[in-house]
Amino acid sequence: MSNQQKRWKQFLAAENDGEQLEYSAKSPIAGVSRRTFLEVLGYSTVAVTLTGCRAPEQKIVPYLREPVEFTPGVASWFASTCGGCSAACGTLVKVRDGRPIKLEGNPDHPLSEGGLCAVAHGMIFGLYDPDRLRSPMRGSQPATWEEIDDEILGKLSAIKKSGGKVRILTAPLSSPASRKTIQTFLAQFTDGKHITYQPVSNDAIRQAHLRSHGIAAIPQYRLEKAKLVVSFGADFLGTWIMPVQFTRGYAKTRSLTEGRREILRHVQFESIMSLTGSNADKRIRVSPHEKTQALLYLARLIAPSTDLLNAYEPRQLSVQTQEAVEELSRELLSAQGESLIVSGSNAPDSQYLTNFINDQLGNYGKTIELTPTLGREQSSDAEMVELVQQMNTGEIAALIVCGVNPVYDYFESQKFVDALKAVPLRVSLNSALDETSSLADYVCPQNHFLESWDDAEAVQGTLGINQPTIAPLFQTRAFQETLMRWSGDQRSFYEVLRNTWREEHFPQQNQFATFEGFWDATLQKGVFSLQQPANVSITFKPDTLSGAIGRLQSTSGVNSANELDLVLYQTTSLRDGRFANNPWLQELPDPLTKITWDNYACVSQRYAAMNGLEEGRVVRISNGAATIELPVHIQPGQHDDVVAIALGYGRSKAGKAGSGIGANAFPFVAFVDGSFRYSHLRVTLVPTASKVEFAQTQIKDSQEGRRLARELTLTEYVKGTESHHEEHASLWSPHDYPEHKWGIAVDLNACVGCNACVISCQAENNIPVVGKDEVRRSRDMHWLRVDRYFEGDRDNLRVNYQPLMCAQCDNASCESVCPVLATVHSSEGLNMQVYNRCVGTRYCENNCPYKVRRFNWFTYARDDAVANLALNPDVTVRSRGVMEKCTFCVQRIEEAKINARNEGRPINDGEIQPACQQSCPSQAIIFGDLRDVKSRVAQMKKSGRNYTLLDELNLRPAVSYLAKVRN
């Protein structure tokens, strides 16, 4: 039969065959129904649980008794004084629900004028430092104050009877009241003495002035009055005496706003690359020895009449240095009384010669005010050395150490340790169990300055008040009160302070009739300025000139090939190492090297090339007595005969964050005719086999010929340059800004790169610290960074700084790529980053040309209850896997908007200040509303120097820069 039929049959058969049925019958009905049942059950359970979901129970605990003048959730501000160093800048302390959470500059303070340095911003962390001592200690055992007081009082009375020597060793105290307390305490002993000790000392200035003017004091340098400042290695913008005040004055005289055409000229002679040198208009790279010779030569050219100097021949000066000095001398002579010479050396002779030159130029009384000032009643380096000798011979019956750490930073540490052993009664008033405290019989921890009353007179006539903004967190006590207890005075230091003010300062003023009025006003303002006493004009005493010149001429530079001249310097973040346990400061990149969490031996490019050293190669530095191992950092702009090492590292007992970071270079400090020396130190340098990788936040040094951080010369500027900025067409329709359009202008001419803004931002915005390894993986979290570029050749190196925060672009490349709308444009021109919406694709990070976005790679440590008290409650703490970035401090913007609206008024220009702007010592960052044509920022952006970064991308950033101008 045919295939057709066959197939037909088969289909027919297929239709009525029983197989289908058979199979379904076989299928396990029960099983099916059970599964189905389970499915349904599953779904219903889910539904039930969803509705049943409850968050854990939260407690809410109100006050028992309502405190007066306090609203929960509203921050209150207290004017106070920074206790970070003896410069005593004015601060405003932000207190939120009883916790100080931020330090800001006090604009009313006559010296700091609203500026603060990075260290000051770090102080907040210091308050909540988990490594602070929480109770007094006997040896290493916690004890109560009563026990300690009894025991110590007993021992002291014994000393009183026996008439033993008692010494109190403190840092230079700018507080008259505290000094007075110490004196009253010491008065009860037959031989009591207060000795101040400064590990990185500028005693030479005081010695020199004692010789030259008969006043052992550090004068007031008034940069704002100078037209030409010449610095011989003084890092006055970074770490020298009062950096914030100097930066403020420097920025003022260099500012080109309101149409100024002539600005301060700055010439720097230095052997290492310092923050100050990097800002100089003319920087002459000299060896420490050459620096002295240049000073001598300058003196000769300035004062040809002085026959002492005519003999001097600048043999040892290189040709270009010689020419530079000659040119400089001409400039100086034409700027008499408007110039200023400063020297960073701690050699009395150099300082003496500096005074001589300043005197010849008639700068005293003009740019230098020799009113007895900072560091009156400060003891000399020699006295410290003497003290150690006395301790060694066992003359000292009791030593009370307060706020200094000689075991770590005394140049002959071992000698001090041995001497300490010879002292019967060793008491430490330091707030942590540091190197010195751990060797003391008793540790009586003092309060953090934010917990205590104090005053400060860094400059005569400027009286700062330091008021407590929180009750002591732990069982600590103000060191003044401790001393008062031990002299049988049961009052609080607050009373003593008030009395001192009532008796000493109140009579000196005539503004206020009653003391209460005077006190309250001062307390509110944070500072009170007495009318300056007449500028005492004291004539220069040339009698020791010849000796000085002779000694200076006799100095010699490095002679042998393998010998190097060691220069010890301080970094802007760690200074002398007091704050080594502050992770914020440890992670703050050095302005020049951009290295964090480490110190290192800086050598010049040529030296490295000649000796086959590469970046990170560990070398052994030795002067015979002391030897340390440090990695090499190749530093452009440094002199070839010089190796530079930062002090303040290598703490052994700093705490969790600070111990064992870097190596301690204090053992290299020398003590030569009566003062500590930090340069002219001969060392040898031997490479080792090992090599380390630095935790560096910026690896590339040059701008690759891209015009990023722009600068022009003064003449170019005066000739007048048009704004480089032209509007490009855009496919996107422009945003509508009905109310505000926030913007920032950064004046690169003002910015000195001090990094204060970085820490201010970190404190304000709860930015986590990630640690050395993570920085090494280029995962630093700073929202605001200061880019640093080196340009030009090794002999005249140009350094440019460029602070970079989120530019809040109008055509933001980040906004278009986020799939979940976690970063969107606000009606006020901000790129809002919504942390709780972010899923972490990191696409925005890739697509951001400024690379200002930061990603939370891990859950960063927030486990320490005490350290968490420093968090700003107005800013969300970001979780793992979330992108974050600068918000222009939107929490401040919102707060200001709400206040303005509640009061039914517009927001005033300058009312909102982001953390970076608020305490910038040079006021380089200006924030404001661009829709308001009269606003300061809008005015700044009109300047011919104004340009936007990567303009060609047409992102229309709200942040623009004003080009730097070199004079």
Partner 1 sequence: MAVSVTQPEVLATAKPEAVADLLPSNGLHPVYSELRKPLILGNKSNADVTRDICQLLEPKPGLGWWISLSVSLVLLIIGVVATVHTVNTGIGTWGLNKTIGWAFDITNFVFWIGIGHAGTFISAILFLFNQKWRTSVNRSAEAMTLIAVMCAGLFPIIHMGRPWLFYWVLPYPNTRGTLWVNFRSPLLWDFFAISTYFTISAVFWYLGLVPDLATARDRTKSRLRRVLYRVMSLGWNGSNRTWSRYETVYAVLAALATPLVLSVHSIVSFDFATSLIPGWHSTIFPPYFVAGAVFSGFAMVMTLMILVRKLMHLEDYITPQHLENMCKVALLTGSIVGLAYITEIFIGLYSGNPNEIFVIINRGLGPYAWAYWIMFGCNALVSQLFWFKKLRTSIPAIFVLSILINVGMWFERFVIIVTSLHRDFLPSSWAMYTPTITEVGLLVGSFGLFFTAFLIFLRLFPVISINEVKGVLKYAKQH
Partner 2 sequence: MSLRTAKIISLLVTVIGVAVLWQGSIFRGLGNQQSYQPAQPINFSHKVHAGDNQIQCLYCHSAADKSKVAGIPAASTCMNCHTQIRKDSPEVQKITTALAQNKPIEWVKVNDLPDHVAFNHGRHVTAGVKCQTCHGPVETEDRVSQADPLSMGMCVTCHRTHREVTLDETGRPIVSKEATPKRLMASTDCSVCHH
Residues making contact with partner 2 (CB under 8 A): 24, 27-28, 32, 35-36, 39-40, 43, 47, 50-51, 53-55, 57-66, 71-74, 738-739, 824, 826-828, 830, 832, 834-837, 874-877, 887, 890-891, 894, 898, 900-902, 904, 906, 931-932
Q: Which of 5, 19, 74, 315 binds partner 1 (CB under 8 A)?
A: 19
Closest CA to 753 of 778, 714, 775, 785: 785
Interface segment toward partner 1; rule CB under 8 A; list 12-20, 224-232, 238-246, 539-547: 12-20
Query: In the structure encoding, which two tokens stand for residue 521, read together?
Result: 């006003």
The option from partner 1, partner 2, none interacting with 157 (CB < 5 to 8 A, set by class) reads none
Backbone angles phi, psi at 435, to 5 degrees: -55, -45
- Distance between first and last Cα of the chain: 112
Q: Which of 102, 254, 633, 853 binds partner 1 (CB under 8 A)?
A: 853
Closest CA to 561 of 677, 495, 614, 640: 640
The option from partner 1, partner 2, none interacting with 529 (CB < 5 to 8 A, set by class) reads none
Q: Which of 401, 838, 920, 937 binds partner 1 (CB under 8 A)?
A: 838
By beta-carbon proximity to partner 1, the closer residue of 647 and 882 is: 882
Q: CA torsion 649→655→659→665, rounded to 10°?
A: 30
By beta-carbon proximity to partner 2, the closer residue of 13 and 61 is: 61
Residue 728 makes contact with partner 1 by CB under 8 A = no
User: Is residue 363 within 8 Å of 339, Cβ to Cβ?
Assistant: yes
Residue 847 makes contact with partner 1 by CB under 8 A = yes
By beta-carbon proximity to partner 2, the closer residue of 521 and 839 is: 839
Interface segment toward partner 1; rule CB under 8 A; list 206-214, 574-582, 847-855, 865-873: 847-855
Residue 780 makes contact with partner 1 by CB under 8 A = yes
What is the smallest separation between the CB atom of 6 and partner 1, expressed in angstroms? Answer: 9
C-alpha span between 797 and 791 (Å, rounded) = 6
Interface segment toward partner 1; rule CB under 8 A; list 6-14, 289-297, 465-473, 600-608: 6-14
Residue 37 makes contact with partner 1 by CB under 8 A = no
User: Is residue 910 within 8 Å of 918, Cβ to Cβ?
Assistant: no
Question: DSSP assignment of 379-442, as one string?
Answer: PPHHHHHHHHHHHHTT-EEEEEEES--HHHHSTTHHHHHHHHHT-SEEEE--SB--TTGGGSSE
The option from partner 2, partner 1, none interacting with 858 (CB < 5 to 8 A, set by class) reads partner 1
Residue 837 makes contact with partner 1 by CB under 8 A = yes
The H or E element containing residue 897 is: helix 890-902
By beta-carbon proximity to partner 2, the closer residue of 150 and 739 is: 739
The option from partner 1, partner 2, none interacting with 708 (CB < 5 to 8 A, set by class) reads partner 1
Backbone angles phi, psi at 86, to 5 degrees: -80, 0
Binding mask 793-822 for partner 1 (x = CB under 8 A): ---------x-x--------x--xxxxxx-
Question: How many residues in total does the chain contain?
Answer: 967
C-alpha span between 848 and 21 (Å, rounded) = 66
Closest CA to 489 of 185, 740, 754, 155: 185
The option from partner 1, partner 2, none interacting with 295 (CB < 5 to 8 A, set by class) reads none
By beta-carbon proximity to partner 1, the closer residue of 3 and 556 is: 3
Q: Which of 882, 886, 925, 962 binds partner 1 (CB under 8 A)?
A: 882
Residue 936 makes contact with partner 1 by CB under 8 A = no
Task: Round the CA-based radius of gyration of the chain to a whole number and report it.
Answer: 33
Angle at 667 between CA 661 and CA 669, to 5 degrees: 115
Three-state SS string over 665-716 comes to CHHHCEEECCEEECCCEEEEEEEEEEECCCEECCCCCCCCCCCCCCEEEHHH
Closest CA to 479 of 448, 435, 438: 448
Interface segment toward partner 1; rule CB under 8 A; list 131-139, 223-231, 848-856, 934-942: 848-856
User: Is residue 285 within 8 Å of 271, Cβ to Cβ?
Assistant: yes
With b for 16 or more beta-carbon neighbours within 10 A and e for fewer, the 929-953 pattern comes to bbbbeebbbbbbbebebbbbbebee
Interface segment toward partner 1; rule CB under 8 A; list 123-131, 397-405, 716-724, 777-785: 777-785
C-alpha span between 411 and 402 (Å, rounded) = 18
Q: Which of 408, 666, 789, 888 binds partner 1 (CB under 8 A)?
A: 789
User: Is residue 254 within 8 Å of 264, Cβ to Cβ?
Assistant: yes
C-alpha span between 744 and 824 (Å, rounded) = 19
Closest CA to 324 of 293, 279, 368: 293
Residue 851 makes contact with partner 1 by CB under 8 A = yes
The option from partner 1, partner 2, none interacting with 444 (CB < 5 to 8 A, set by class) reads none
The option from partner 2, partner 1, none interacting with 537 (CB < 5 to 8 A, set by class) reads none
Residue 724 makes contact with partner 1 by CB under 8 A = no
Q: Which of 532, 721, 778, 827 binds partner 1 (CB under 8 A)?
A: 778
By beta-carbon proximity to partner 1, the closer residue of 25 and 471 is: 25
Cβ atoms within 10 Å of 485's Cβ, excluding its own: 19
User: Is residue 572 within 8 Å of 648, Cβ to Cβ?
Assistant: no
By beta-carbon proximity to partner 1, the closer residue of 2 and 554 is: 2
Residue 839 makes contact with partner 1 by CB under 8 A = yes
The H or E element containing residue 68 is: none
Question: DSSP assignment of 36-51, as one string?
Answer: HHHHHHHHHHHHHHHH
By beta-carbon proximity to partner 2, the closer residue of 73 and 705 is: 73
The option from partner 2, partner 1, none interacting with 855 (CB < 5 to 8 A, set by class) reads partner 1
C-alpha span between 524 and 264 (Å, rounded) = 35
Query: In the structure encoding, which two tokens stand for residue 722, read together?
Result: 């048009």
What is the smallest separation between the CB atom of 845 and partner 1, expressed in angstroms? Answer: 4
Backbone angles phi, psi at 899, to 5 degrees: -60, -45
Question: DSSP assignment of 823-880, as one string?
Answer: EEE-TTS-EEE-TTT-----HHHHH-TT---EE--S------TTGGGGS-TTSPPP-T
What is the smallest separation between the CB atom of 964 and partner 1, expressed in angstroms? Answer: 16
Residue 869 makes contact with partner 1 by CB under 8 A = no
Interface segment toward partner 1; rule CB under 8 A; list 44-52, 179-187, 453-461, 773-781: 773-781
The option from partner 1, partner 2, none interacting with 606 (CB < 5 to 8 A, set by class) reads none
What is the smallest separation between the CB atom of 13 and partner 1, expressed in angstroms? Answer: 6
Residue 23 makes contact with partner 1 by CB under 8 A = yes
Contacts with partner 1: how many residues (CB under 8 A)? 67
Binding mask 669-708 for partner 1 (x = CB under 8 A): -----------------------------xxxxxxxxx-x
C-alpha span between 214 and 235 (Å, rounded) = 26
The option from partner 1, partner 2, none interacting with 726 (CB < 5 to 8 A, set by class) reads none
By beta-carbon proximity to partner 2, the closer residue of 98 and 142 is: 98
C-alpha span between 69 and 77 (Å, rounded) = 12
545-554 and 288-302 helices, crossing angle to 10°? 140
By beta-carbon proximity to partner 2, the closer residue of 724 and 897 is: 897
Residue 372 makes contact with partner 1 by CB under 8 A = no
Interface segment toward partner 1; rule CB under 8 A; list 452-460, 733-741, 760-768, 840-848: 840-848
Q: Which of 846, 861, 864, 901 binds partner 1 (CB under 8 A)?
A: 846
Summarize as ranges the residues that interact with partner 1 (CB under 8 A).
3, 7, 10-11, 13-14, 17-20, 23, 27, 698-706, 708, 774, 777-780, 785, 787-789, 802, 804, 813, 816-821, 837-843, 845-847, 849-851, 853-859, 879-883, 950, 953
